[in-house]
Amino acid sequence: MQECRVRLVDAFTTEPLGGNPAGVVAEAAELTAAQMQAVARELGASETAFLGPSEVADRRIRFFSPTQPVELCGHATVASVSLMGAEGVFDPGRYTLETDAGILDVELAEDGRVWMDQPAASTERLAGQAPDLETLAELLGVQLAGLTEIGTELPVGLASTGLRFLLVPVAFLTHLGELEPRLDGLNALCDRLDAAGTLVYSFDTLEAASTLHGRVFAPGLGVPEDPVTGMAAGAVAAYLDAVGAIDEQTLRIEQGDFLERAGRIDVELPPAPSVDGVRVGGHAVTSMEGRLQVPPSDEQRILEG
């Protein structure tokens, strides 16, 4: 029976048990996809990253939620590169990762922060295909006023910098705090819009230096609520830039506070429309390490930790 070394690495934080925990298996070359899925299910993190050799990049990296493969994952990328730096595998500098979505460029900074270059953005204002605000408020379990008292004309939209998200603005933090989404209905809406999940956000923040505060729901990926989401951060930054809602090139996004896993994501927008896309960055810290016994991939039984 195979054995693999696993870690839980908390991304977008410098404090253990904050941010978003990602499973990381740094030596996954001998694991099949079925075994990776089983490990991800056992660890139970929103995503687990598996690293191995690559013929076209510095490392091959694959991501799995507890229920299915995921093409890209921001927080698990940050967690993996941070771990490689902490263990001396990566020195500060730029690296490439082969993902199921293509080659991903990352940077390990001298201060330990990891920057992830996200693919070029696609953004879309929702018009006829969007539900009316009353229906959307019902799906999110929020007061209708939360969607109508934004203060500026900011449409519901869709955006992707590698993963597509439904983006819904609300007026205040209190509206974010009262969210009780109907996950089945929200998932059905995301399926119809070909979105991985929903980011609900507000410009009302806890910290003066922050640009916005968000919450992400992705039940279709097996993640009812994700604590801190790098791919959604890139998507919403690109969208806000596209609709003219912001004029700065650097943003800080708060997430996870309502789950008592506070995280902070830094986002850099390109100075002009560019195929280079946005950069998402943050720190990470290992909170747990252990070993799992992995049965052969054709066995359907629970892993033993």
Q: Which residues are catalytic?
A: 47
Q: Which are the contacts of 25, defined by CB distance < 8 A and separation ≥ 6? A: 4, 5, 6, 31, 36, 39, 48, 49, 50, 51
Terminal C-alpha separation, the chain: 13
> CB under 8 Å to 238, separation ≥6 — which residues?
121, 123, 159, 161, 269, 277, 278
Q: What is the distance between the alpha carbons of residues 253 and 100, in angstroms, rounded to a whole number? A: 26
Segment (H or E) for 43: helix 33-43
Rounded Cα–Cα distance for residues 193 and 263 (Å): 28
Looking at residue 37, its amino acid is Q
81 vs 282: CA distance, rounded Å: 11
Rounded distance, CA 126 to CA 239, Å?
12
